[in-house]
Amino acid sequence: MKKILEKRETGVFLILVLLCFGLSLYSPSFLSYTNIKNVLVNSVPVGIMATGMTLVLITAGIDVSVASQMMFSATWLAIFSQSSPLANPATVLILALLLGAVTGAINGLLIACFSIPPIIITLGTASIYRGIILVYTNGRWIMNIPKWFTSLGKTYFNIPLPIIYAIVIFVLTAWILKHTYFGRSVYAVGGNENAARYVGVDIKKTIFLTYFYAGLLCGFAGFVLDAILGNCQPSGSNGWEMNAIAAAVIGGTNILGGSGTIVGTVIGVVMMGVIENGLVVAHIPTYWQKLVYGLIIIVTVTFDVIRRNYADSQKQTIDVD
Amino acid sequence: MAGKVFLQMENISMTFPGVKALNNVRLDVREGEVHALMGENGAGKSTLIKILSGVQKPDTGSKILIDGKEVSFSGVSDSIKHGINAIHQDLSLFPNLSVAENIYLGRSKNGKVDWKECTRIAEEAIEVLGIAMDVQEQLSNLSMAKQQLVAIARAISFKSRLLIMDEPTSTLSFSEVKMLYSIIEKLKKQNIAILFISHKLDEVFEVSDRVTVLKDGEYVGCKEIHELDENRLVQMMVGRSVAYAALNGESYAGEKILEVKNLSKRGNFKDISFTLHRGEILALTGLVGAGRSETVKALFGLNPPDSGEIYLHDKKIDIKNVSQAIENKIAFIPEDRHEEGLILAMSMKDNVTLPVLKRILSPLRFINRHEVDRVAEEYVKKLSIRPSQIDKLAQNFSGGNQQKIAVAKWLVSKPDILIIDEPTHGVDIASKTEIHKLLKELAKEGMAIIMVSSEWQEVFALSDRVLVMRHGRIVHEDNTATGNQDLMMEKAILGGN
Amino acid sequence: MKEKLKNKFTLHEIVLAGAFLLIFLIGTFSNENFLSLRNILSLFQQMSEMGIMAMGLTLVILTGGMDLSAGTTMGLCAVCSGLCLTKGMGVGISLLVSVGVAVLCGIINSILVAIIRIPPMIATLGTQMFFLGVALVLSQGNSISGIPESFYFLGQDKVLEMPLQMILLFILAAFLIIMLRRTMTGQHIYAMGNNMKASLFSGIRTTRVLFFTYIVCSVMCCIAGNIQVSRVATARADMGSAFLMTCISAVVLGGTSINGGSGGIAGTIVGILIFAMIGNIMNLVGISSFWQQLATGSILVLVVVFNRVIEMQKYKVKSRKV
């Protein structure tokens, strides 16, 4: 019990509960089924990206190409579903994962093989992936995604399918992080790269797999996005990579690497969805969002860095008797 | 008592670019013995450990035998497979993970982690050590001593047959060291061999059965501990191989320039008081980790003290940052030229003038290029830096000449006090002698020099006065020429009494 | 001859010059208007904003830092001067307010980087979002139009047929080149980028230099922002967001090491010129601007990987020689 109370996730969760409580007092419609459903469903694509981002951040890396990767997948899926006779739910899903695998693998290879700062590489690949789909579609929206595709994003028996997808991804990723050698290597690499080498962790492989996995999830997020929206705007979801980073950071992932959990990220994602919705409910223009998220990132990172520097300064170098 | 031989290392050589770190070194370790590996800083101990734990590959011709069979390690996991586990000085643990996982990490079945197994292994290992610890606790919540125990538990959990402990007591308190000794006894009883690296003689005599001594990358000898006493061990470590020309025949010491009173900083040094005179070479010596570098860095504003006073020309001064130190005409030449001394990718002349740019600006606040060239040329001649190309990048000079550039860089500022940390570390003999002469020359010109050195021969040959540090305090002070040199060494290694 | 050439220029400089020539030739042959004075002048006009911002970034990157907030700093400053102008304040005061905001942005960045010691990429990633947020809030998410004509001079006036901002670009470039090559601060910037620790040991006031570079970078972004406001007669919060990528790419393409310590302003100008020519040619030939985004990203990735491979090879050769 004490341990649960000490965790950062608990604190964030309590804030989330308070926030929801406050909003429901302010506007009773906030707690309505439709509103909650909308908040959650709209958060799913970012939530899936943030899950991958969490892994990347734990290794002390960063991936600012996630939104581009998602749109890369979403655009080709939209085109494929409209034009190919082979298109059906199974092939679309496979293609989504394939596209994500390709973009993720390119990121992973470049970062792991050349040890170039990940932010530079992903900044570059972000504009490559985005550039490719924009050139191909000439920036035009792809409307009228087939019914069978959008039916994958609908609600049945009051249960929205996208939420099911998200839960599957969350549980799967949490399981990977907790129970696989790869998952523990992610923590090891981010916590102490040198020590990880001493215990025989393959650093390059771990880093590659992390970006690869993040790419896979982005591919899947593209699939979900198409299913929810029913259309695809290749230039859309600009800046969502920052939302994914913010969600992970709010949920307690240390951007300097070493710690973070999926549970925390999920809370972070929901929190962001609620803030966004709350702003609408409270008639505060949505552009306040960015300011708030930016501030949250700056403050939490400052806090983490100060704590780390303090811990370092406390290390005694010489045993003075 | 002596078990059969577990490990034999023969003809071990290791060549790094430009340096031969190990030359035909040998080592054998028997089952269930504590074998101490000793030597001064730079003797090659850590290189040998790195080879033994599979981090580095030795030159061809080197032979490692385990149970009489030749093996070769291509990675850390190979040496672990053969039952060799190292506990590195920095412990190499993961602060963000639990104790159990720190012990378990590195094992997996088909890429999966078995948490029950993890807890079981960790608890077993902790039990072997005979201590109580919650294995689910996060590592960063533990004290350094407890973390050390986790590192040991981790090593023995791999069914270790040889445990390498690199300076295991350096971060432990007295009672914690006692606990470590008792754990070492327990491990011995289980027939586990321990390779114990330490530069503290009392420890070595307390726990070890045999001692192997290295010096300058060479094998000196291997002795049973009861064949030795402290003096003979020190003799083996220090050796008398290289003798420098004694330059301290004449002392140029003049009036007092610097006085330090009761300088203290938590976890660094305590109650440091001494005086320094114009034209004097003051040696600050002691073992690595005695707090020498920390002390001199405090005088240069890199490591501001918590308390104490510094008087320059009998006037109290504050040195909170490097700029203040420079304004007070203090210069500092760090030991690590690559990391701290030079900007390797910049030219020799830019390096030499970097600390004094402020003084060679034209009226329009531009750098006076002619002046830069003139100053650089002057010091090339003065210190006979070769090749004498002032536009050449610092990284393209040899080690000895890089050291000279580092010296030149600070002479340009015409300091009153020159602090130099390990002036000849990693430099060939010829350059060493040249640097010694240069320092004496500077003293003759009236500069006050504080020299941090762990090379006894250098201290004896060059300095006028010696301060011996141990555990962050000055434990001995003497005149080099008239003092008892054996006593100085003893004080540094054994401390007071 | 070949040896001589090799000694005088680095491989990167040769490749850069080759790329420049190649693109120049493609331009010349693909469209007869490319070499016309009018086109060249408009090319310079187009590249000025990006060039000024890229020069500021060069300073920061040379110290081993990074300013990912450059684009949104530009947007924020643009919005500030836009608001002041439309509220009826004078041109001088509006510019002053805008520069003041830029200095503030620079101070925030340098406090995070130099004092709290957050890795620069992460600190400025946070401020990137924060500055954008502030700009959006100030402009209420709208683009600000109705900029008075008295402000048009900055982005639309010509002196001796030459666009004013082009002259500004070259004056600023000259200033920075001299600053980097001939002054103490310049020397300190290079030293810090090469070896932060040795710089500290040499008595360089590293915190002060970092404050200087981040503030200069923000002010340069502010100048770029105001030029654009003047040129297009509107101000928008996300004005500079698209610039950031191209600017970083140009800096790296121009030979400034992403880890700091080597490179310079001249290279950055060439880098920006290359990107401007690519854009210009695409416009003339009628290729969609989406290709530019693709090209920019590809060039960035190719150049960093290329530099890295060269670096790794050099290291290998060196260790073999000794």
Largest CA distance in chain A: 80
Question: How many CB atoms within 10 Å of residue B307?
Answer: 12
Asked if B76 is an interface residue toward chain A (Cβ–Cβ < 8 A), one would say yes
User: Which letter does DSSP use for residue B340 in this model?
Assistant: I
Give the mean pLDDT of chain C.
87
Compute and round to an integer the Cα radius of gyration of chain B.
Answer: 25
CA distances from B299 to B308, B322, B432 (A): 11, 9, 25
Sign of the CA dihedral running B322, B324, B327, B331: negative
What's the CA gap between B3 and B162, in Å, rounded? 13
What's the CA gap between A290 and A287, in Å, rounded? 6
Over residues C46-74, the pLDDT tens digits come to 899 999 999 999 999 999 999 999 999 99
Distance of CA A118 to the CA centre of its chain: 16
Give the β-pairing of B19-30 and B34-38.
unpaired
Over residues B21-35, the pLDDT tens digits come to 788 888 888 888 999
What's the CA gap between C281 and A4, in Å, rounded? 61
- Of residues A228, A239, A253, the one with CA closest to residue A286: A239
Specify whether the CB–CB gap between B400 and B434 falls below 8 A.
yes
Residue of B20, B321, B354, B366 to mutate when probing chain C, most C C-beta within 10 A: B354
Given this model, what pLDDT does residue B47 score? 84
Q: What is the DSSP string of A255-274?
A: TTSS---HHHHHHHHHHHHH
Pairwise pLDDT comparison (B397 vs C214), residue with the higher score: C214
Specify whether the CB–CB gap between B277 and B448 falls below 8 A.
yes
3-class SS at C261?
coil
φ, ψ for residue A254, nearest 5 deg: -85, 120
Chains touching B by CB (3 or more pairs below 8 Å): A, C
Give the β-pairing of B34-38 and B210-215.
parallel
Confidence band for C322, pLDDT divided at 50, 70 and 90: very low
Domains and CATH numbers, chain B: 5-238 (3.40.50.300), 256-494 (3.40.50.300)
What type of residue is C98? S
Closest by Cβ to C293, choosing from A134, A242, A292: A134
Angle at B75 between CA B73 and CA B80, to 5 degrees: 75
B448 to chain C, closest Cα gap in Å: 20
Which residues of chain A lie closer than 8 angstroms to C66, CB-CB?
119
- Of residues B148, B189, B193, the one with CA closest to residue B168: B148
Over residues C80-113, the pLDDT tens digits come to 999 999 988 888 999 999 999 999 999 999 999 9
Specify whether the CB–CB gap between C9 and C2 falls below 8 A.
no
What's the CA gap between C42 and C27, in Å, rounded? 15
Closest by Cβ to A294, choosing from C122, C126, C288: C126
Angle at B305 between CA B299 and CA B310, to 5 degrees: 50
Over residues C259-303, the pLDDT tens digits come to 888 888 999 999 999 989 988 888 888 888 888 888 888 888 988
Closest by Cβ to A198, choosing from B92, B97, B115: B92
Distance of CA B302 to the CA centre of its chain: 19
B364: nearest CA partner in chain C: C183
CB contact under 8 A, A114 and C308: yes
Given this model, what pLDDT does residue C132 score? 93
User: Which letter does DSSP use for residue C203 in this model?
Assistant: T
Closest by Cβ to B340, choosing from C178, C194, C197: C197
Is 60 exceeded by the pLDDT of residue A137? Answer: yes
3-class SS at B310?
strand
CA distances from A275 to A31, A267, A288, B189 (A): 14, 12, 10, 63
Chain A interface residues (partner B, CB cutoff 8 A) = 178-184, 187-188, 190-192, 194-201, 258-259, 311, 315-321
- Of residues B150, C290, B117, the one with CA closest to residue A75: C290
Specify whether the CB–CB gap between B58 and B22 falls below 8 A.
yes
Chain C interface residues (partner B, CB cutoff 8 A) = 178, 182-184, 187-188, 190-191, 194-195, 197-205, 261-262, 318-319, 322
Given this model, what pLDDT does residue B495 score? 64
Given this model, what pLDDT does residue A314 score? 67
Q: Which residues of chain B have pLDDT under 70?
A: 1-2, 17-19, 41-42, 91, 108-109, 171, 238-250, 288, 426-429, 494-497
Question: How many CB atoms within 10 Å of residue B19?
Answer: 15
- Of residues A9, A1, A6, A5, the one with CA closest to residue A254: A9
Given this model, what pLDDT does residue C57 score? 95
Closest by Cβ to B93, choosing from A179, A180, A195: A195
3-class SS at C211?
helix
Over residues A116-136, the pLDDT tens digits come to 889 889 989 998 999 999 888
φ, ψ for residue B318, nearest 5 deg: -110, 130
User: Which letter does DSSP use for residue B422 in this model?
Assistant: S
Domains and CATH numbers, chain C: 43-277+292-304 (1.10.3470)
Specify whether the CB–CB gap between A100 and A93 falls below 8 A.
no
- Of residues B263, B143, B310, the one with CA closest to residue A320: B263
> Which residue(s) pair with B282 in the sheet?
B450, B465
What's the CA gap between A308 and A259, in Å, rounded? 13
Given this model, what pLDDT does residue C1 score? 43
- What is the edge-to-edge ordering of all strands in the sheet holding B465-470? B330-333, B417-421, B448-452, B281-286, B465-470, B473-479
Specify whether the CB–CB gap between C65 and C260 falls below 8 A.
yes
Tokens of A203: 């650093």
Cβ-proximal residues to A28 (8 Å cutoff; 6+ apart), any chain: none
**Where is mean pLDDT largest: A209-223, A245-259, C161-175, C279-293?**
A209-223
Which residues of chain B lie closer than 8 angstroms to A204, CB-CB?
none
C131: nearest CA partner in chain A: A291
Identify the CATH number of the domain defined by range A26-297.
1.10.3470
Confidence band for A321, pLDDT divided at 50, 70 and 90: low
CB contact under 8 A, A187 and B80: no
Given this model, what pLDDT does residue A316 score? 55
CB contact under 8 A, C201 and B302: yes
Given this model, what pLDDT does residue B14 score? 82
Residue of C61, C113, C118 to mutate when probing chain A, most A C-beta within 10 A: C118
ipTM of predicted complex: 0.83
CB contact under 8 A, C136 and A290: yes
C4 to chain B, closest Cα gap in Å: 17
Specify whether the CB–CB gap between A275 and A43 falls below 8 A.
no
Given this model, what pLDDT does residue C7 score? 56
What type of residue is A143? M
Given this model, what pLDDT does residue B41 score? 66
A180 to chain B, closest Cα gap in Å: 4
What's the CA gap between B33 and B209, in Å, rounded? 6
B353 to chain A, closest Cα gap in Å: 33
Closest by Cβ to A128, choosing from C127, C137, C298: C298
Cβ-proximal residues to B263 (8 Å cutoff; 6+ apart), any chain: B269, B271, B272, B273, B295, B298, B305, B307, B308, B309, B310
- Of residues A112, A101, A118, A20, the one with CA closest to residue A62: A118
Specify whether the CB–CB gap between A188 and A199 falls below 8 A.
yes
- Whether the bond into A234 is cis, omega within 30 of 0: no
Closest by Cβ to B343, choosing from C182, C191, C205: C191
| Helix, strand, coil percentages in chain B from 3-state DSSP, rounded to 5 | 35, 25, 35
Of A255-264, A312-321, B1-10, the range with the lowest mean pLDDT is A312-321
What's the CA gap between C269 and B30, in Å, rounded? 67
- Of residues C204, C300, C218, the one with CA closest to residue C258: C300
Closest by Cβ to A192, choosing from B92, B268, B471: B92
For the CA atoms of C209, C212, C214, C220, the dihedral, rounded to the nearest 10 degrees, stands at -140
Tokens of C76: 């924020």
Cβ-proximal residues to A154 (8 Å cutoff; 6+ apart), any chain: A160, A161
A299 to chain C, closest Cα gap in Å: 9
- Of residues B346, B338, B405, B392, the one with CA closest to residue C186: B346
Which residues 295-334 on chain B approach chain A with CB closer than 8 angstroms?
A: none
> Which residue(s) pair with B10 in the sheet?
B63
The per-residue b/e assignment along B336-373, b for 16 or more CB within 10 angstroms, e otherwise, is bbeebbbbbbbbbbbbbbbbbbeebeeeeebbbeeebe
Chains touching A by CB (3 or more pairs below 8 Å): B, C
Given this model, what pLDDT does residue B78 score? 81
> Which residue(s) pair with B224 in the sheet?
B210
CB contact under 8 A, C68 and A119: yes
